[in-house]
Amino acid sequence: MSVFDVEIEGLRGGPADLEQYRGKAVLVVNVASRCGLTPQYSGLERLQETYAGRGFTVLGVPCNQFMGQEPGSSEEIAEFCSATYGVTFPMTEKIEVNGDGRHPLYRELVGVPDAEGHTGDIRWNFEKFLIAPDGAVAARFAPQAEPESAEVVTAIEKNLPT
């Protein structure tokens, strides 16, 4: 199974159809609207604008498991992201990324280590996973890694489809 085979709803309902991203590089990020890292939305949107034409997308995945920092409804999340950060990248339904209720998407992701060797549970909002065009998890980045940091940008550019 690959991440492209996982079923998940879009933020505004209906299937998100991850299969449409096969052949693209995808940065999957668990996001939250009331977190100290929420300003990362700006960098994520700039990545989207910079690389979307080259076979890349950010995929925002709202999660409320970290101190209740994403309490809103789908409509509230969509409005906040659009009005506050001008987000144009796709977003999924709000899910759980840890524990017994961990969504199948994150079951596919959490076994991959980041640069420090961390695997397993998501540590906080804005942890990032780069999916290669073939569906393999190419990289994992800690929540504090800025979206436009050299390590993230280099990994994205290395995994853009040719």
Count of CB atoms situated within 10 Å of the CB of 36: 13
Q: What are phi and psi of 141, to 5 degrees?
A: -130, 140
Please tell me which residue in 8, 35, 142, 160 is annotated as part of the active site: 35
In degrees and rounded to multiples of 5, residue 113 shows phi and psi of: -80, 150
Does 35 qualify as catalytic in the annotation?
Answer: yes
**Other CB atoms closer than 10 Å to residue 136's CB: what's the count?**
12
Listing DSSP states for 12-62 in one string gives TSSB--GGGGTTSEEEEEEE-SSSTTTTHHHHHHHHHHHHGGGTEEEEEEE
Positions annotated as catalytic residues are 35
